[in-house]
């Protein structure tokens, strides 16, 4: 049974969260169970600290185990201090107030920490993708799940460039999965393209994620959150599929902004929670559709000094390019993981590659701590962040200039979609 509450006009308090969780948990047979909560890292806005406190207070006396795993995908592992900050406690409080809890980073790179639970056949992939992709994919997942009776997913739902809307079973795949399925999902999303998939609820990638999750032999449960700015405006508790559906429907209303006309220049201001361009690229994904043909999008992030903590060396090898650059040179880039190729195309945006000439639709410029030399190497524009004045971009929409603070989570679309996205 789905339990939830949400509206773009309301803000849920910690008391609301406790009441909703209490009502939902009363209907679950949780006594003596071993529960693993799966939560996002710091690159997703959500009141995980509130949920941590509430879930612990309601369940610690009932369950046999209550642990938390960070759904990293391929993000870098979080330090103990960063995890404590994410859940809103100190090391001392962990020992004194929350002694039952253990914290884990997902070990996506360590084969001995993963196990295969099944295979999605190439025929099934081809059917769901409309023939875009035809290959078997093994479903691997963190093997710690077998130490538990219940997996409780806790996380927000936003428009997402690969799956349509994040949340739900995406916290399993690719949140705590192996590389193979992550690369396959991300490359399929790239083939559909960011504008073709972002902000759409039912996509081929979402279908594959849910299909993989159905193979998990441990009971799944989900607390799907909807965040507007810093406020929790919705929370839905039930199966991952039904909780995600309700959250995505509300997120569609609160996390998408429509504009009447495209802009020649967009300044996309990255928040501090994005540590590198791998995550900060969301500042492009969410705004690509409102940039005019031939226009520019500037990712302003003076605090970002790295292309990718995890994948930077590969990205610097291949650079950022439009989709056709890769699809028309398949053999040349076959050795590059699909997830990295997908990130490359998402940051560069829509464009063409014909007769060896690449023509992106818009110009993506970095005003970050990444040097001009590296920007040239990775095929992106460069602007000295110290020379940029935010004030020059503010309140100028009628002039074709848009400034977006805390970019990366809110999707911007054109109301009448003249660019045919």
Q: 419 lies in a domain?
A: no
Which pLDDT tens digit goes with each residue over 146-201? 999 999 999 999 999 999 999 999 999 999 999 888 999 999 999 999 999 999 99
Q: Which sign, positive or negative, has the C-alpha torsion 229, 234, 236, 241?
A: negative
Q: ∠267-156-101 over CA atoms, to 5°?
A: 125
Same-domain pairing of 282 and 220:
no
Question: Chain-wide mean pLDDT for the chain?
Answer: 96
d(CA 407, CA 187): 24
8 A C-beta contact, residue 226 and residue 156: yes
Among the three residues 254, 269, 285, which one is the final residue of a domain in this structure? 254
d(CA 218, CA 104): 18
Question: Mean pLDDT per segment of 10 residues, for the chain of length 421 residues?
Answer: 91 97 96 98 94 98 98 91 97 96 93 94 92 93 98 98 96 94 93 96 95 97 96 98 98 97 98 96 98 98 95 94 97 95 98 97 98 98 97 97 97 80 54
Q: 210 lies in a domain?
A: yes
Q: ∠228-230-233 over CA atoms, to 5°?
A: 45
Q: 293 lies in a domain?
A: yes
Among the three residues 254, 283, 317, which one is the final residue of a domain in this structure? 254
Give the percent of the chain with pLDDT over 70. Answer: 99
Q: 209 lies in a domain?
A: yes
Q: 420 lies in a domain?
A: no
Q: How many domains is the chain partitioned into structurally?
A: 2
Same-domain pairing of 297 and 236:
no
Same-domain pairing of 134 and 19:
yes
Which pLDDT tens digit goes with each residue over 329-338? 999 999 999 9
Same-domain pairing of 222 and 262:
no
Same-domain pairing of 94 and 73:
yes
Full domain range(s) for residue 289: 258-414
Same-domain pairing of 268 and 122:
no
Furthest C-alpha separation in the chain? 67
80-87 and 48-59 are packed helices; what angle lies between their axes, rounded to 10 degrees? Answer: 80
* Enclosing H/E stretch for 57: helix 48-59
d(CA 155, CA 161): 17
Same-domain pairing of 52 and 191:
yes
Residue 391 CB-density burial (10 A; 0-12 exposed, 13-18 middle, 19+ buried): exposed
Same-domain pairing of 156 and 31:
yes
Among the three residues 254, 277, 300, which one is the final residue of a domain in this structure? 254
Strands 114-120 and 137-142: antiparallel
d(CA 421, CA 416): 10
Within 10 A of 350 (CB to CB), how many other CB atoms are there?
21
Q: Residue 270 belongs to a domain with what CATH number?
A: 3.90.226.30
Same-domain pairing of 18 and 74:
yes
Strands 159-160 and 164-165: antiparallel
Contacts of 53 (CB under 8 A, 6+ apart): 14, 88
Same-domain pairing of 231 and 268:
no
């Amino acid at each position: 049974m789905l339990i939830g509450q949400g509206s773009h006009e309301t803000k849920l308090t910690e008391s609301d969260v406790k009441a909703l969780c209490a009502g939902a948990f009363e209907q679950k047979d949780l006594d003596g169970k071993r529960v693993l909560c799966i939560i996002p890292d710091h690159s997703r806005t959500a009141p995980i600290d509130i949920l941590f406190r509430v879930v612990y207070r309601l369940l610690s006396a009932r369950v046999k185990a209550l642990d938390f795993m960070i759904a990293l995908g391929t993000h870098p592992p979080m330090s103990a201090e960063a995890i404590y900050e994410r859940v809103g406690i100190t090391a001392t409080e962990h020992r004194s107030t929350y002694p039952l809890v253990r914290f884990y980073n997902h070990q996506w790179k360590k084969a001995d920490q993963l196990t295969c639970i099944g295979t999605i056949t190439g025929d099934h992939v081809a059917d769901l993708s409309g023939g875009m992709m035809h290959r078997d994919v093994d479903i691997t997942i963190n093997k710690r799940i077998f130490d538990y009776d219940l997996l409780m997913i806790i996380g927000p739902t936003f428009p997402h460039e690969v799956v349509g809307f994040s949340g739900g079973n995406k916290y399993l795949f690719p949140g705590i999965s192996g590389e193979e399925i992550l690369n396959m999902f991300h490359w399929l999303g790239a083939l559909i393209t960011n504008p073709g998939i972002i902000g759409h609820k039912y996509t081929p990638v979402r279908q594959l994620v849910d299909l993989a999750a159905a193979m998990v032999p441990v009971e799944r449960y989900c607390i799907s959150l909807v965040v507007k700015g810093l406020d929790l405006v919705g929370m839905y508790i039930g199966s991952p599929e039904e909780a995600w559906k309700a959250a995505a429907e509300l997120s569609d209303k609160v996390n998408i902004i429509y504009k009447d006309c495209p802009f020649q220049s967009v300044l996309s201001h990255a928040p501090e929670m994005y540590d590198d361009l791998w995550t900060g690229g969301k500042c492009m994904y969410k705004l690509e559709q409102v940039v005019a043909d031939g226009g520019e999008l500037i990712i302003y992030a003076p605090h970002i000094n790295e292309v990718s903590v995890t994948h930077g060396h590969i990205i610097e090898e291949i650079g950022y390019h439009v989709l056709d650059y890769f699809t028309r040179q398949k053999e040349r880039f076959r050795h590059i993981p699909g997830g990295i190729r997908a990130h490359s195309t998402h940051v560069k945006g829509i464009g063409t590659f014909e007769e060896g000439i690449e023509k992106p639709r818009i110009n993506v410029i970095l005003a970050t701590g990444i040097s001009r030399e590296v920007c040239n190497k990775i095929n992106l524009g460069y602007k000295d962040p110290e020379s940029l004045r935010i004030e020059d971009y503010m309140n100028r929409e009628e002039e074709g200039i848009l400034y977006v603070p805390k970019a990366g989570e809110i999707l911007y679309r054109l109301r009448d979609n003249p660019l045919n996205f």
